[in-house]
Amino acid sequence: MAKAKPRVKAPKQADKGEIITIKTLISHKMESGQRKDKQGNLIPRQIINHFTAKFNGEPVFEVDIEPAISANPYLQFNMRADESGEFEFVWEDDDGSVYTKTQKLDVS
């Protein structure tokens, strides 16, 4: 599979105490392992199976992803901005690949 492409939409600035929305999407075909190829062989499962969002090293959102999720999984969550720091977003693939993206947040 071609390398998955993670994308994040999150504010770069927020007021202290503000509730912010973080949106993530990763381009990935999310093969469930239940389909067959033209020869009738099962196509092996290959999905993004885990997602973690950390802020300043502390997890703020985490989810296990199952095969029923569609291609290009989109995740959205809210967080209260209490301090400036850096997000780290991590997507883990069945094949052992790990995709990461970071983004800073300035809180005033």
The token pair at 6 is 């993670």
Q: What are the extents of the domains in the chain?
A: 5-107
Spell 9-39 as b/e; 16+ CB within 10 A means b.
Answer: ebeeebeeeeebebebebebebbbeeeeeee
Question: Which of the four CATH numbers 2.60.40.10, 3.40.1210.10, 2.60.40.4070, 1.10.1740.10 does domain 5-107 have?
Answer: 2.60.40.10
Assigned token pair, 70:
């569609």
User: What is the pTM assigned to this prediction?
Assistant: 0.90
User: Tens digit of pLDDT for each residue in 72-81?
Assistant: 999 999 999 9
- Predicted confidence at residue 69, as pLDDT, reads 85
Of the candidates 72, 71, 103, 75, the residue with the CA atom closest to the CA atom of residue 87: 103
